Structure 1
Amino acid sequence: MAKAKKIYNQQSLSHYYNASQFRIDTWNKLKSTTRQIANGGTNREKNIEKVRELLAYLAPVEIYWAFPGSQVFQQLVRDEQLEEFDLLANKVSRIASALLSGEYRRKHIVLDGAAETEAERDSGIESTPYTSFDRARRRPYFEVLIVDDLTPAQAESQRAALTGMRRDEDRCTYAPIFVPSLDDALIAVSFNHSIQSVVIRFNFDLHSENGLPVLSKYLRDTKLDGIEDVDSSEYGIILADAISRIRPEVDLFLVTDQSVEDVAGRVGKTCRRVFYNSEDFFELHLNIVRGVEDRYKTPFFTALKTYSSKPTGVFHALPISRGKSIIKSHWIQDMGEFYGINIFLAETSSTSGGLDSLLEPSGPIKEAQDLASRAFGSKQTFFATNGTSTCNKIVVQALVRPDDIVLVDRDCHKSHHYGMVLAGANVVYLDSYPLSEYSMYGAVPLKVIKESLLKLRSEGKLDRVKMLLLTNCTFDGVIYNVQRVMEECLAIKPDLVFLWDEAWFGFARFGPTYRQRTAMFSAAHLRERYKSESYREEYTRYQDETADLDPDDHEAWLSRRLYPDPDQVRIRAYATQSTHKTLTSLRQGSMIHVHDQDFKSKVEESFHEAYMTHTSTSPNYQILASLDVGRRQVELEGFELVQKQVEMAMVLRQTVMTHPQLRKFFRILTVGDMVPSEFRESGIQSYYDLEQGWNDIWNAWEIDEFCLDATRITLYVGQTGMDGDTFKNKVLMDKYGIQVNKTSRNSVLFMTNIGTTRSSVAYLIEVLVKIANDLEQEIEDMSPAERRIHDLKVKSVVEDLPPLPDFSRFHDAFRPSGDQPGDEGDSRTAFFLSYDANNCEYMGLNDRSLDDAMEAGRDVVSASFIIPYPPGFPILVPGQVASMEIIEFLRNLDVKEIHGYRPELGLRVFTEEAIQRQMKR
């Protein structure tokens, strides 16, 4: 075994992104190899040696899982040593199948006796007697990690004592795992997604004897340097804090031999319960089950189910309620057959009968929102049933007053721009860095944001600056260093409000690497940071270093990191998330998350009014219930699902990069392609390298100004000769039924989500290989003339790309008057000025008259939003002067849907007379 383990450690484990993928693949290899031996296949001796190696590979992995468990694994080793290969093959087959399907979570897997056939498994018929233990396992199942240095006999005794406490009335059931060290505990919670509770005792070692590289990489993320110098009595508290950072949703129980009152006071935020010396097993069992049940609760979903089961008489609105108008119909009963009756039983306009009002929640909706706030790490969370577009308008209207200055990412979603119009804000648009070779934008560099704030300070306008609005992450997956952006901006404007549009980033809370770049985590972290004495010392040094800097020397301030005054800074962060886009929710289910120190004193009333303004008085209860259930899911299995989501994306990246046929026509853009080197302090070029395998991305995610969401896979298709829109519609959609969301001139964006399976990834790979094969054959059969045409098509999408325009400027007619005119503009005035048709005219986008007018010096001023979709951000806004670069970009767009533009009429612009009248006001 030792020899095999040594051989294994020398193999290229770096080509596995995570240990879960390695574990399943290794069990499947063991299943295949033992079957070959049992069936009398050739190369028996070679296969026996392979079985020994595979068992050795699994030995250090299986200690972190309750199934199949250490005892069963040792039986497999003994079966191999006794050359009982028929028995071994049967056991391994059942284990591998149960792991792959998750069957072990639903019933007890019997490994002795005759093998269960594929037909039996597929039919769902029990092949063994139905026991009380089976009935328990049909409840939701999880695993409990116990950190204690025990002998095998002691561990088995405690396992029996704890599992013996299970009762018929328990809503869920579990199995314990025992690990002997702090390192092993951190590996276990990072690796085993089934762990929902951790019991930390006072007798454990620091370091693991397990040196498997694919596991030890988890330890590099925990930042426990110097722990050897800490008194051993502190190990439990340190471990609890570390686990809460990795898996904040997990319930922690601490068993201590120290002063229990003192320890309880120090771990109140992380531990659910502290036990003294030797815990009562029954009490521990009750706490473990109760902790999971608390997360399992879905107050509104439960209330809606209860309401739906009650007989009622409807003398109110909604003929469709209880399905009455459908059941009675002679013509639309197929609708009821399609949807099923429950959706109509839950359709109501009543807020009584155990339900609640979304506009004034005081019952199950309020409780569901409070649970969502806990899950997503906010101070307050609000549900929305008409999408994140409405959430954005609610936040902007609640916080922004007319003439407030708002710094806005020009590439943000159109709802923010409309929100600025509604609020009457003066907007300063911020330009993202361009990726011209791929016809897309990145994100706004921190230097650009700081420069705008410093300029506004020099112009005496900092008191009018209210908000910074950025998209995190962008449509194409570029993610901000949220803490760094907030910290340096607060150094200039200590009470600046941040609105982070996380419409596509709701899942990030439930992955440890991703979490550090979310708005709510960053707000909570910075708030704690500014309370600490260590930060005060850091700030004092910063003051000394900057004491002689001229406040108006912008270059000096731009070239250094800035730190806010802890006595003045206020943490005010908002995040809007499309739950339905990345987590489980019905369409348009969204949430607003708030971490604002001044919410109660400055915002609550205006927020309520804005919420009332934009929220329907007839919200869809099914959407609300789905938000409630979606929250339950991510608290109990979000870590697992996000881990698998990222894994699926990484597998797709790896396959395209290594497949010889795919590499001829396709390339997945790396972080080096999407983020310029000046924004990648880590120097990392790609998450996967052909020679070295997977790179360690934790450091990059911690320090780089921008990083790339691995679940966004931008496939570069330039070498096919097709533009992105053609490749999406004519090939992927029409021919193979594959849906994608966004394209650029030469790329197609794929996204994995928590519902993505290995089968769907395999199908996509299969399709791409077919496309590559067809293209290769087509090119081989081309005549010289056809080949020249093909090469010109490739050149047009690879080289002949329209330049990406920056925001030009607001016309002076829509800029605030005064001694110090700035970059801010009043799009509201322009927006409503266009309501009078006499103020507007149309100019054909491709007409020579447009070019002549611009060459003659006329300012062509947009009277409307011009928004290509996707991705949904405006190229022109009301009051903006159209530059020749913008016109050329619009002429070369390959998307067919452009909101605000009518091809038969042209661009809607203000007449010169209207502009002159506006200038005189």
Structure 2
Amino acid sequence: MSEKAIVLSTTARKQLRHYHSATQLRADTWHRLEQYTSKLADRHARKADIAKFSKAVEDAFSILEPMETYTAFPSLSDFELLWKLYHREDYPALARVVARIVRALSSHTYRRYHIDLHAEMSQEEDDNQLSDPTGSQVNVRPYFELLVVDDINRAEIARLRQGLRDMRRPEDKFIYDLVVVPSFEDALIATLFNHNIQACVIRYGFPFRSIHQLDILQRLLSQFDDQEAEEQPDSDRGPLLGRLISDLRPELDLYLVTDVAVEEIAGDVTQCFRRIFYRQEDYLELHLSILRGVALRYETPFFSALRKYSRQPTGVFHALPISRGKSVTKSHWIRDMVDFYGISIFLAETSATSGGLDSLLQPHGPIKKAQQLAARAFGAKQTFFSTNGTSTSNKIVVQALVRPRDIVLVDRDCHKSHHYGMMLSGAHVSYLDSYPLDEYSMYGAVPLEEIKKRLLHFRSIGQLHRVKMLLLTNCTFDGVVYNVERVMEECLAIKPDLIFLWDEAWFAFACCTPTYRMRTAMGASKRLQNRYRTDEYRKKYKTYSNKMAKLDPKDTEALLNLELMPDPDLVRIRAYATHSTHKTLTSLRQGSMMHVYDQDFHKVEAAFHEAFMTHTSTSPNYQILASLDVGRRQVELEGYELVQKQLELAMALRERVAKNPLLNKYFTILLAKDMVPAQYRKSGIDAYYDPQTGWRNTNMEEAWSQDDFVVDPSRLTLYVGKTGIDGDTFKNEYLMDKYGIQINKTSRNTVLFMTNIGTTRSSVAYLIGVLVKIAAEIEENMETMSSAERKIHDKKVRGLTHDLPPLPDFSHFHPAFCPDGKPESLNGDIRKAYFLAYDEEQYEYLRIDDGSIEAEQARGREVVSSSFVIPYPPGFPILVPGQVISADILEFMRALDVKEIHGYREELGLSVFTEEAMAKLVAKPGVASLEEEVAKLEAKVATLIEPEVVAEDNPKGKVSSVK
């Protein structure tokens, strides 16, 4: 096949540079084409205009034609019709057909019925417009597209399409159309570009290269190493293509048609292929297999069961007056509830104790099946639903896995639920500090070096056996995302049985796209487990072990600078992730999931279920559970499409703010370089977009594959320091009160916008318009300011851009709450401190605005917090029970501009332990609790064990890879 050269005008090439998404380019180009053809059809158009718009039409055709080879509508035959009308200069007919296509694409009517443009063109149009079919032709069944990879001609494609159409039956739940591509590269492009594709048939014998060279499509291939596929014979590429597509979009159903005896290859390829067909088997079997595969993803066991239950007549004789809506519909005063909510929500109101539906606490029916389907969708081994939000999910996981006195390494600025979980479980907490972003009054994330240093510290003092879990937030509220795979791998090299809890409350949507998925807990866990099973890894590990044998095991600096590798014979993948499904996917409020990828889950399963019982209501909301079930269906059938659109809108918003001279005078959307220091960006990429050069081909993919931390582009942190308006005021008085725009998080000089799968282009346009109005208002105010007012304004700006208090690190626990009274052990017992404060005689209040705390510190007193102090949002503590209050923390508290601070009452001050309470604790060093005595014995035993690091379940006595 020869490559198709694309010749575009200078204007068209400039437009292309500023598109990040091929799907957005396609939509915009069709709308521009409608405008151009309408101008050409104008009878009064001048010759100069005709020449200009003719070139614009040719540019649009050149851009769209390669794209439409990857979609079912419009078809290649339809595109030939457009060229035919253009070349014969039948511009009115061309304009009508283009308008028809645009209308069908915009309204998605092509999904509801077959549109035959050739047939419609041959009909007489009374209104001179192509109209939509109606009546019996309308299809209400869900529509999808089937990708077929085969190098066949037009006639063969027509026969294949007709053969599958002939298999359609009225009872089919779904309807689909075909997209046929001829090469390996075309198949990958179609998979990434066309979100309508739900199944793929890979036939034997096709070439490697695509003939289409449109840059934005070729950009999709930049993440692949194509050498292996290109070197293979055409007939052997099918299985490799299947594996790649399975990695990119694991939700798709894959089918292989081969001329090799299927029994010879079935054992090798069935992991990614749903079924293998031998040569040309009958169309009916293929058709039924395709429909069955989609039906398995469409299934919603609990939602369907709840709907069925709601339609059954029942008599209610238990403790739910609102069940069946009786207490509402009989009322003279609250019937408006039915008007507002609808009757279905009341018909579905029931409980497990009344029978008829499954129990969340001990599922065995539709809830159990729904959780199994969710595990498949999110790449977990087990998934559990929660109706109490991720705050409860976090506590369940911690309590299930952590025993009293286990050491847990915790990201200090994680959500408050984790800190309460530590207190409830009795864990000894070792806090890790994230890198600070002082100029924006926010934290980033915990550097890997900090984590390794802490693990090596516990190993050096003989306490590594007590370290049970590493708990990190991925991604952070502000969108900083970890390199999950690298963090897990290097930590497992030091402690091969370490458990990871990744709080992905704001990252549930990340499973939907390949770039994001690589940085999720479940995605990384699967890759690591597969890697450690390979002979290739064992060879690399042997070389690594020889290198490590030459190092001094006490040389911490050397270990910090090396990329460590776990021993494949010792390592155990034990990862957990909690998702606030309701935050970034479709679910009713408080819908949450816990995902498990734990090779040793059987050892903690009983404890997990006990913890689940402890924290879960015996009256869970069934509507929330049903919404989780439906949300999972959406993830598997349209998650890829919705998240891609979410990112497109975020990128468009970034671009508009960067390019608008009025907006960028007062506002800046922070870039990767602003939120991730250079030492954590191996790729060297500062930003995904540049106003001058547009979108670089591989910016985001390069950064996400290499860097320690990346920024989720769907989080847009708007820097407002130059306006002189602090973040909280900007949020409440400007965005909310004036324009009704809701956001969640602010800092002193930033506000955070987030696009989600429900965001629309019109809402983005509204936000841009609002920002322009605010900027114009500021501009006008600046022009009318007196010199005195200008000085006040400049002082405010300086206070938000330069005079910012540094973010405080975790100070330390008071010795009374540390093992053996040694703060240098770097872990503390917050449970002990927490319950000590239950006695009101043990604490007092000190104000932060009258210098009383500094006065106490000046005379040598260590002032110790007796409670959690948590500004909200973002919801992480700046003080925990037992923590010594530092000068940095006081300065930061005085500068806080949020109105809601849990654990702090402004009129009283900070709650701190009295000197007498602390003196009593310190005065009794000889009186140790049973737990403390056990700890001392464990420490003595640990010093006698050689080598220092021993896996808990290691019958061979092998040592870990870092001695």
TM-score band, normalised by the shorter chain? over 0.9
Match for 2:689: what amino acid? Y
Query: Which residue in the other structure is 2:104 paired with?
Result: 98
Query: Which residue in the other structure is 1:410 paired with?
Result: 412
Matching of residue 421 in structure 1 with residue 423 in structure 2? yes
Query: Which residue in the other structure is 2:932 paired with?
Result: none
Query: Which residue in the other structure is 2:61 paired with?
Result: 55
- What is the CA-CA distance between 1:49 and the residue it aligns to? 2.4
- What is the CA-CA distance between 1:297 and the residue it aligns to? 0.3
- What is the CA-CA distance between 1:231 and the residue it aligns to? 3.6
After TM superposition, the structure 1 = structure 2 runs for residues 796-835 of structure 1, keeping only pairs within 5 Å, are 796-817=799-820, 822-835=825-838
Distance (whole Å) between structure 2 residues aligned to residue 909 and residue 2 of structure 1: 74
After TM superposition, the structure 1 = structure 2 runs for residues 909-920 of structure 1, keeping only pairs within 5 Å, are 909-919=912-922, 920=924
Is the CA contact (8 Å cut-off) linking 1:431 and 1:444 kept in structure 2? Answer: yes
Match for 2:94: what amino acid? L
Query: Which residue in the other structure is 1:17 paired with?
Result: 20
Structure 2: runs of 5+ lacking an equivalent: 928-963
Matching of residue 901 in structure 1 with residue 907 in structure 2? no
Is the CA contact (8 Å cut-off) linking 2:204 and 2:236 kept in structure 1? Answer: no
The partner residue of 1:725 within 724, 728, 736 is: 728
Distance (whole Å) between structure 2 residues aligned to residue 522 and residue 417 of structure 1: 25
Query: Which residue in the other structure is 1:770 paired with?
Result: 773
Is the CA contact (8 Å cut-off) linking 2:96 and 2:129 kept in structure 1? Answer: no
Distance (whole Å) between structure 2 residues aligned to residue 118 and residue 405 of structure 1: 77
**Does the C-alpha gap of structure 1 residues 115 and 247 become closer, same or farther in structure 2, counting only changes over 3 Å?**
farther
Match for 2:650: what amino acid? A
After TM superposition, the structure 1 = structure 2 runs for residues 402-801 of structure 1, keeping only pairs within 5 Å, are 402-600=404-602, 602-695=603-696, 696=698, 697-801=700-804
Query: Which residue in the other structure is 2:93 paired with?
Result: 87
Structure 1: runs of 5+ lacking an equivalent: none
Is the CA contact (8 Å cut-off) linking 1:472 and 1:505 kept in structure 2? Answer: yes
The partner residue of 1:45 within 48, 51, 54 is: 51
Is the CA contact (8 Å cut-off) linking 1:307 and 1:353 kept in structure 2? Answer: no
Query: Which residue in the other structure is 2:264 paired with?
Result: 262
Question: For 1:567-605, what per-residue CA distance to the aligned partner results, in whole angstroms no more than 9, with x for missing partners?
Answer: 0000000000000000000000000000000001x1100
Distance (whole Å) between structure 2 residues aligned to residue 259 and residue 908 of structure 1: 76
Distance (whole Å) between structure 2 residues aligned to residue 442 and residue 896 of structure 1: 23
Match for 1:102: what amino acid? H
After TM superposition, the structure 1 = structure 2 runs for residues 59-458 of structure 1, keeping only pairs within 5 Å, are 59-109=65-115, 111=117, 112=120, 127-131=132-136, 134-135=137-138, 137-350=139-352, 354-458=356-460
Deviates more, 1:730-739 or 1:693-702: 693-702
Distance (whole Å) between structure 2 residues aligned to residue 558 and residue 825 of structure 1: 25
Match for 1:227: what amino acid? A
- What is the CA-CA distance between 1:3 and the residue it aligns to? 7.8
Aligned residue for 1:254, secondary structure, equals: strand
Deviates more, 1:535-544 or 1:10-19: 10-19
Distance (whole Å) between structure 2 residues aligned to residue 917 and residue 409 of structure 1: 31
Distance (whole Å) between structure 1 residues aligned to residue 232 and residue 114 of structure 2: 43
Distance (whole Å) between structure 2 residues aligned to residue 354 and residue 282 of structure 1: 38
The partner residue of 2:868 within 865, 869, 875 is: 865
Distance (whole Å) between structure 2 residues aligned to residue 535 and residue 115 of structure 1: 69
Question: For 1:422-451, what per-residue CA distance to the aligned partner results, in whole angstroms no more than 9, with x for missing partners?
Answer: 000000000000000000000000000000
- What is the CA-CA distance between 1:346 and the residue it aligns to? 0.3
Is the CA contact (8 Å cut-off) linking 2:150 and 2:183 kept in structure 1? Answer: yes
Match for 1:694: what amino acid? W
- What is the CA-CA distance between 1:420 and the residue it aligns to? 0.2
Query: Which residue in the other structure is 2:958 paired with?
Result: none
Aligned residue for 2:762, secondary structure, equals: helix
- What is the CA-CA distance between 1:48 and the residue it aligns to? 2.0
- What is the CA-CA distance between 1:103 and the residue it aligns to? 2.2
Distance (whole Å) between structure 1 residues aligned to residue 632 and residue 875 of structure 2: 28
How many residue pairs get aligned? The number is: 913
Is the CA contact (8 Å cut-off) linking 2:4 and 2:211 kept in structure 1? Answer: no
**Does the C-alpha gap of structure 1 residues 89 and 852 become closer, same or farther in structure 2, counting only changes over 3 Å?**
same
**Does the C-alpha gap of structure 1 residues 352 and 835 become closer, same or farther in structure 2, counting only changes over 3 Å?**
closer
Distance (whole Å) between structure 2 residues aligned to residue 18 and residue 129 of structure 1: 34
Is the CA contact (8 Å cut-off) linking 2:386 and 2:593 kept in structure 1? Answer: yes
Deviates more, 1:690-699 or 1:658-667: 690-699
Distance (whole Å) between structure 1 residues aligned to residue 183 and residue 129 of structure 2: 41
- What is the CA-CA distance between 1:259 and the residue it aligns to? 2.5
Distance (whole Å) between structure 1 residues aligned to residue 150 and residue 208 of structure 2: 11
Is the CA contact (8 Å cut-off) linking 1:404 and 1:465 kept in structure 2? Answer: yes
Distance (whole Å) between structure 2 residues aligned to residue 296 and residue 449 of structure 1: 42
Is the CA contact (8 Å cut-off) linking 1:94 and 1:109 kept in structure 2? Answer: no
Aligned residue for 2:270, secondary structure, equals: coil
Distance (whole Å) between structure 2 residues aligned to residue 2 and residue 771 of structure 1: 48
Is the CA contact (8 Å cut-off) linking 2:468 and 2:498 kept in structure 1? Answer: yes
Runs of 4+ that moved beyond 6 A = 1-4, 114-121
Deviates more, 1:586-595 or 1:215-224: 215-224
Question: For 1:466-502, what per-residue CA distance to the aligned partner results, in whole angstroms no more than 9, with x for missing partners?
Answer: 0000000000000000000000000000000000000
- What is the CA-CA distance between 1:127 and the residue it aligns to? 4.3
- What is the CA-CA distance between 1:6 and the residue it aligns to? 4.6
- What is the CA-CA distance between 1:328 and the residue it aligns to? 0.5
Aligned residue for 1:185, secondary structure, equals: helix
Distance (whole Å) between structure 1 residues aligned to residue 171 and residue 330 of structure 2: 42
Is the CA contact (8 Å cut-off) linking 2:5 and 2:213 kept in structure 1? Answer: no
Match for 1:318: what amino acid? L
RMSD: 1.8
Question: For 1:116-147, what per-residue CA distance to the aligned partner results, in whole angstroms no more than 9, with x for missing partners?
Answer: 999999xxxx843434xx34x32100000000
- What is the CA-CA distance between 1:53 and the residue it aligns to? 2.1
**Does the C-alpha gap of structure 1 residues 743 and 53 become closer, same or farther in structure 2, counting only changes over 3 Å?**
same
The percent of aligned pairs where both chains have the same amino acid is: 60
Aligned residue for 2:190, secondary structure, equals: helix
Matching of residue 886 in structure 1 with residue 892 in structure 2? no
**Does the C-alpha gap of structure 1 residues 892 and 93 become closer, same or farther in structure 2, counting only changes over 3 Å?**
same
Distance (whole Å) between structure 1 residues aligned to residue 563 and residue 5 of structure 2: 51
